[in-house]
Chain A
């Protein structure tokens, strides 16, 4: 039996033609997850095989009982959720602070995808509280890149990206506060989209920086992302920042021709690695062949953006993480002589170094003496970046840019140099500051055999435009179909 399990579309076809059942499918992926765990460490929790079997049996029953047009296209397809989405089970957020936390409810997107019939196999590894760009800050140990085990998979959704790239799961959820979906997607050679702020509900997602956080899907192709986003997007009365804008039909939108689509490109990014520059050039040629018109644009000030981001995000983080005190939420220290020492000991034992660093930074920039100089100024810079994009999108439909200045770096290479790690987010954080959607798709491979992604940005609520460009691009290229040659199962 030779079944293509690399895309939602091909899996759906195999299920519809009864080449495989959901029970067999979930069992197959579950075996792969267990076999890879020792080397990749892509998962924090792997669900009980009996529970998975029950969900898959229900999917198989519905598929046989109902006509094809009456069940969801995602019925019976396995998925994994980043471990910051509550899922009526253990939700650790990659932290010792929540290592024993049992979520009493499920996040809206988890519920939506479950109602669509997807079978959840487990929760993926991530940087602690989504703070990091390498998945090295996880309390449960780092995840490794399936393309090169000595390299990071990116972060913070590194577990989701590595699991998809290694073929352990066809789709996963992620969250993106400063590039946490797009950068790991780029490092692992998969596709990922950060939707517009408000497009997908944040209810049930552990908050890091509430004005920047956004949930989104990760998968092999833009077409798979369209399938997933169709079910994830939409108004949620439980999230006060959720948008009421109607959700278009993404699967119809991705097949539109790209004739005369105007794409903005930046010719002044001098700090890119040569392999990344080459991938960008090749992507431009492909898009021109598809009929797109390239327009030179002036990018927003990336230096100022990264500066503003590392004021706003820690500020919101120090505020959001105040609830983890050992009483309201999280790890409780066993030794304390009074309430104050209980708070201090619980937080000191529960949080890792990077989280502590950002909490201190946030406390500093929000303190009364420095509020105007840092936080208020950063909000003004943020507004100027948003306004800059609004002006750009009067001339172009989308903007093409690198995701990261380099391909995946080695484990430990930037771990002790936080500013070097922060600088690697320079191309991704603008989309979060402006609240606009951005798509990362594979567009090349470096001389060392590591995947390289490019990103497309568009105006608010224009995810359909991005998925359309991404899908058409992937009809012309095969970067998204390439798979790592590394062996990471237990026998190898």
Chain B
């Protein structure tokens, strides 16, 4: 892994300003954290069982129901006329 960190580019992506005088310390902190993170390469994942959710933690998602009634006409009275849920657009004659 190439772990040379471009702090300025990261800061720009994160929308955070890092003062020039703080760049060396920030780089050192992030690089030492990455060294810590690379210790996960010591674990073998070859025999990892497929991800299964424990029955005890199975969550029930909220019902996927549209509860708002259609207020399109109320909010956009000047919209194009519709037929069978399609907008009726004027024919374009070349």
Contacts and interface: CB of A to CB of B under 8 A. Distances in A.
B62 A308 contact: no
Nearest to A423: B36
B37 A374 contact: yes
Interface residues of B, number: 38
B56 interface: yes
B10 A364 contact: yes
Contacts of A240: 59, 61-62
Contact of A307 (B15, B30, B40): B40
A359 B14 contact: yes
A244 B60 contact: yes
Interface in B6-46: 7, 10-11, 13-18, 26, 29-30, 32-43, 45
A166 B11 CA distance: 41
A343 interface: yes
A135 to B, nearest CB: 20
Interface residues of A, number: 55
B-side interface mostly? helix
A370 B62 CA distance: 34
Contacts of B13: 363, 367
Contact of B32 (A196, A419, A459): A419
A418 B43 contact: no
Interface string A344-384: 11011001000011011101110100100110011011011
A343 B13 CA distance: 11
Interface stretch (B47-55, B65-73, B74-82, B83-91): B47-55
Interface in A231-273: 237, 240-245
Interface stretch (A29-37, A58-66, A298-306): A298-306
Contacts of A344: 15-17
A461 B40 contact: no
Interface string A10-45: 000000000000000000000000000000000000
8 tightest A-B contacts by CB? A307-B40, A304-B43, A348-B17, A460-B56, A307-B39, A461-B56, A303-B39, A304-B40
19 contacts: A240-B62, A243-B58, A244-B60, A303-B39, A306-B39, A348-B17, A356-B14, A357-B30, A357-B33, A361-B30, A361-B33, A363-B13, A363-B14, A377-B45, A381-B40, A390-B54, A418-B29, A459-B56, A461-B57
Interface of B: 1, 5, 7, 10-11, 13-18, 26, 29-30, 32-43, 45, 48-49, 51, 54, 56-62
